[in-house]
Amino acid sequence: MSKNKTVNGSETTHSDINTNSQIIIKDLWKVFGRDSKRVLGKKYRALGKEEIQKKTGCVIGLREINLEIKKGEFYILMGLSGSGKSTLIRNLIRLVKPTSGSIVIDEKNLTKMNNEELLNFRRETFGMVFQHYGLLPHLTVLDNAAYGLKVRGISKEDRYIKAKEVLETVGLKGWEDYYPGSLSGGMQQRVGLARALANDPEILLMDEPFSGLDPLIKRQMQDELIELQDKMQKTIIFVTHDLHEALKLGDRIAILRNGKVVQVGTPEEIVTKPVDDYVQEFVRDASPAKVITAGTIMEPAKIILYAWEGPKTALTLLRKNKRRAAFIVDKSHRLLGVAQEDKLEELLNKPEKVEKIPESALRRVPSVGPDTILEDMFSIVTENQYPVPVVDADNKFLGVVTTDQIFESITPMGGEDNV
Ligand SMILES: Nc1ncnc2c1ncn2[C@@H]1O[C@H](COP(=O)(O)OP(=O)(O)O)[C@@H](O)[C@H]1O
Ligand SMILES: [Mg+2]
């Protein structure tokens, strides 16, 4: 998975300033209209979007945007129509020119480049996928996919080799000679994606790419994009107004309102801690069970038994804590299973002395990883009498999640805040 929702790992995505950011946007403003710079002066800049429009005739596209996007990050821009999502993307590829502020990508300051440098940088760095596909109807699928390479002056032979390769990547092998008009919406958008990927862009910009598709096709395209991103590890900036899409795809989400970023966070942060009513309204229908992970809510196990200490010690510990069973680990803290009181007694009653508790005497229980979302744990907690153990990739025991914890954390706004 490309998604990184680990909350106890060092790679946790936060809205903190991060020095290894690939894209750094500082104090970016875009004002549309005549003499737009005057809007940035003291007299107007603090006013609301509507007031500015009334007084100056200028439209605020973006105001005071500060964002940092990491290499390989799947970054979502979300907000109501007119909130500035497309304008932000267009500023990045300089289809529109910022009114003020700076954009630095791969340590290069776009706001300082001349037109030729910008054009080259744009072609080398970005791939763009639009909502309405943007395919050329008189060109075949192959020529559409190869179009960006043609613009860059790549020979026909070379661009066809590359275009065929990316068409295969997006599942369109065999469709090279068709025209876009004979393809379904989903397939046309695959061509759009293939064309963007053919350039081998560092950064993929996708402006509501799946908004026009039927729900089932949309879901399928999302799944394929996740799989593709797992292999490609590109930086993706993806615009959507579909919360579920944002939660499913995004490592981080920035929410825009009237040209301003009102919140940046992981899907989990956005759903569980919306900063204001606007964000709250967005996430109203979101199910916390789809974003909260085992790693976030797990707690340390009350007691842990150690297999090498033998059945006598284990039994003593259990009884001291008034329990009939507990999780048991080996010397590397790997989870072995659950040791039950009666099984330990059997071991003690054996004629020969048992030094170390054998795995055959333990009960195996299902475990989950720290990234497992709560929704995927429902079936386990309802079938299982024990808390669910959380283990890392090496099966090291990290903590436990109880049924109560799960239900508490998916109850809207949590427990005590709501009294
Ligand atoms: N070329 C333009 N001229 C004037 N206003 C524009 C232009 N492009 C966008 N806007 C305005 O900027 C704001 C943000 O638009 P946009 O970025 O298209 O929003 P979104 O993509 O979030 O729907 C809107 O108020 C829109 O009317
Ligand atoms: Mg838009």
pLDDT at 384 over 80: no
User: Are 373 and 289 contacting, i.e. CB atoms less than 8 angstroms apart?
Assistant: yes
Q: Which of 36-50, 124-138, 279-293, 379-393 has the lowest mean pLDDT?
A: 279-293
Give the amino acid at 94.
R
pLDDT at 10 over 90: no
Q: How far apart, in whole angstroms, are the C-alpha atoms of residue 329 and residue 399? A: 12
What's the rounded mean pLDDT across residues 38-46? 92
Assign 394 a pLDDT band (cuts: 50, 70, 90): very high
pLDDT at 412 over 70: no
Q: How far apart, in whole angstroms, are the C-alpha atoms of residue 3 and residue 229? A: 9
Please, what are the domains in the chain?
Answer: 71-95+112-288 (3.40.50.300), 295-410 (3.10.580.10)
Q: What is the distance in A from the centroid of ligand 2 to the CA of 258?
A: 13
- What pLDDT is stored for residue 416 in this prediction? 45
Name the one residue in this structure whose structure tokens are 């239900």.
407
Assign 214 a pLDDT band (cuts: 50, 70, 90): confident
- What pLDDT is stored for residue 21 in this prediction? 93
User: Are 25 and 66 contacting, i.e. CB atoms less than 8 angstroms apart?
Assistant: yes
- What pLDDT is stored for residue 7 in this prediction? 35
Bridge partner residues of 305 (DSSP): 328
Nearest protein CA to atom 2 of ligand 1, as residue: 32
pLDDT at 216 over 90: no
Q: How far apart, in whole angstroms, are the C-alpha atoms of residue 375 and residue 378? A: 6
Of 257, 311, 266, 314, nearest to 288 by C-alpha is 266
Q: What is the distance in A from the centroid of ligand 1 to the CA of 87?
A: 6
Q: How far apart, in whole angstroms, are the C-alpha atoms of residue 133 and residue 9? A: 38
Closest ligand 1 atom, residue 33 Cα = 4
Name the one residue in this structure whose structure tokens are 């059997």.
346
Fill in the DSSP letter of residue 47: S
pTM score of the predicted model: 0.77
Nearest protein CA to atom 1 of ligand 1, as residue: 32
In 22-101, which residue ranges form alpha helices assigned H by DSSP? 42-45, 49-56, 85-92
What's the rounded mean pLDDT across residues 388-404? 93
Q: How far apart, in whole angstroms, are the C-alpha atoms of residue 174 and residue 178? A: 9
Q: What is the distance in A from the centroid of ligand 1 to the CA of 355?
A: 73
Residue of 59, 83, 211, 257 with the most ligand 1 atoms within 8 Å of its CB, for mutation: 59
User: Are 186 and 168 contacting, i.e. CB atoms less than 8 angstroms apart?
Assistant: no
Assign 17 a pLDDT band (cuts: 50, 70, 90): very low
* Contact 86 CB / ligand 1 (< 6 Å): yes
Phi-psi group of 170: left, alpha or beta (phi > 0 → left; psi -120 to 50 → alpha; rest → beta)? alpha
Neighbours of 166 (CB within 10 A): 22
Bridge partner residues of 23 (DSSP): 69, 105
Counted residue by residue, the chain has a size of: 419
Q: What is the distance in A from the centroid of ligand 1 to the CA of 79?
A: 12
- What pLDDT is stored for residue 417 in this prediction? 45
Average pLDDT, the chain: 89
pLDDT at 235 over 70: yes
Residue range 279-315, pLDDT digits in tens: 998 888 777 888 888 988 899 999 999 999 899 999 9
Q: What is the distance in A from the centroid of ligand 1 to the CA of 61?
A: 6
- What pLDDT is stored for residue 19 in this prediction? 61
Residue range 236-266, pLDDT digits in tens: 999 998 888 999 999 999 999 999 999 999 9
Residues with CB under 5 A from ligand 2 (ion): 86
* Contact 61 CB / ligand 1 (< 6 Å): yes
Closest ligand 1 atom, residue 256 Cα = 22
Apex CA 148: angle with CA 189 and CA 237, to 5°? 55
- Contacts of residue 107, Cβ cutoff 8 Å, sequence gap at least 6: none
Of 179, 184, 31, nearest to 98 by C-alpha is 31
Residue range 75-133, pLDDT digits in tens: 999 998 899 999 999 999 988 999 999 999 999 999 899 999 999 999 899 999 988 88
* Contact 83 CB / ligand 1 (< 6 Å): yes
Q: What is the distance in A from the centroid of ligand 2 to the CA of 30?
A: 15
Fill in the DSSP letter of residue 293: B
* Contact 130 CB / ligand 1 (< 6 Å): no
- What pLDDT is stored for residue 8 in this prediction? 37
Q: What is the distance in A from the centroid of ligand 2 to the CA of 276?
A: 23
Residue range 157-201, pLDDT digits in tens: 999 999 999 999 999 999 999 999 999 999 999 999 999 999 999
SS3 sequence of 332-374 = CCEEEEEEEHHHHHHHHCCCCCCCCCCHHHCECCCCECCCCEH
Q: What percentage of the chain exceeds 70 in pLDDT?
A: 93
